[in-house]
Amino acid sequence: MLKTRIQELDYLKSIFIILMVMFHLVYFGDKYPYAKELVYTFHMSAFLILSGYLVNINKDFKSFFRMLLWIFIPYVIMESGYVVMASILPIREHIDGLNIKIVLEKIFKEPLGPYWYFHTIIICDVFYYVIYRLDVGKTELSNLIVLGLSLFLVSCSPLNLLSFENAMYFLIGVWVKRRSKTFLSFFQPSLLSVIPLIVLCCYSQNLHRALLSGVVITYLVISLLLALYRYIPSSVKNVTNYIGRNTLVILLFSPIFTILSKLFIPVFAFDPTGICFMCVAVVFSIAGCFLVSYIMDRIHLSIFFFGKKQILE
């Protein structure tokens, strides 16, 4: 990651992680399928762009792969737990006949839940680091092409380890970074972005992240959010920036709390919109993730789980 944090990027990450939690609430998402389809067009796509932009390959081999190791370890633990949970609970990703082969398959090939993001990032980071550090293509453009082709071939392999549409957004982030462009100069903040964004979103056929329209929607959403950042009160910025600095723990632990949030549904039966439930469930889920992380920091468990004495930033 970059040494100097860019507050606008933490803000963007906070918005996208909140949307992820929001639409992982099945009860709420089922009430607003079009909104869910729209959000799924850009929220994780933008996250992958940010990941490609922020990853730091200017590290020695040992430091870089130690960083990946401490992504892999919590990923394996949480994905394994999710797979076991999916074999017990009546969720949409329910698994019948749990065994070690299925667990290993989900960890290394087809992750369940939001954990596909870690699986994708690990693969993309490895290829990015190796190709650029070895300078395989000898030029910036050639290296980017080699990286793109490599990730495409991985996505086309019989093992099916990677979705190329996910890799494509990671590549966009790498491209922005390698062009020596700052993120904020490439993604120009503009309130006018809302006009083409509304037009595109009026047609459901545009709502797919693998299409050019999906890429454009992602760009326009980032542009609009950056423009709105200027008008957000400082107190709200402090909250969003804190959430944005700690998206890792929300990605890891939020499935626990989105599932527990189902217990609240009867309490909010008076609200047919599901909005009251959503607001409480999102706060509960994010606060729960921070509480778990705080406890891990306090009892010195983070060093074994994340390779750090303290995970909350």
Give pLDDT tens digits for 170-199: 999 999 998 877 899 999 999 999 999 999
User: What values do phi and psi take at 310, rounded to 5?
Assistant: -140, 125
pLDDT tier at 44 (50, 70, 90 boundaries)? Answer: very high
pLDDT digits (tens, 9 = 90+) for 85-126: 888 877 777 788 888 999 999 999 889 889 999 999 999 999
Q: How many CA atoms lie within 13 A of 143 on its CB side?
A: 17
Q: Are 14 and 46 in contact (CB under 8 A)?
A: no
pLDDT at 160 over 90: no
Report whether pLDDT(2) > 70. no
Give the model's pLDDT for residue 99.
Answer: 87
CA 36/CA 24 separation, integer angstroms: 9
Judge contact between 138 and 15, C-beta under 8 A: no
Q: Rounded to whole angstroms, what are the CA distances from 35 to 15, 91, 178, 257?
A: 15, 21, 34, 22
The pLDDT of residue 83 is above 80? yes
What is the residue-averaged pLDDT of the chain? 92
pTM of this structure? 0.93
- For the residues of 106-128, what is the DSSP string, one character each? HHHT---GGGHHHHHHHHHHHHH
142 has pLDDT over 80:
yes
Tokens matching residue 172: 């966009």
Mean pLDDT value across residues 69-81: 95
Q: Tokens for 117, please give them.
A: 């993001």
**How much is the pLDDT for 136?**
87
Is 301 a residue whose pLDDT tops 80?
yes
Q: CA-to-CA distance for 243 and 280, rounded, in angstroms?
A: 16
Quick one: pLDDT at residue 1? Answer: 39
Question: Which tens digits make up the pLDDT trace of 197-217?
Answer: 999 999 999 999 999 999 999
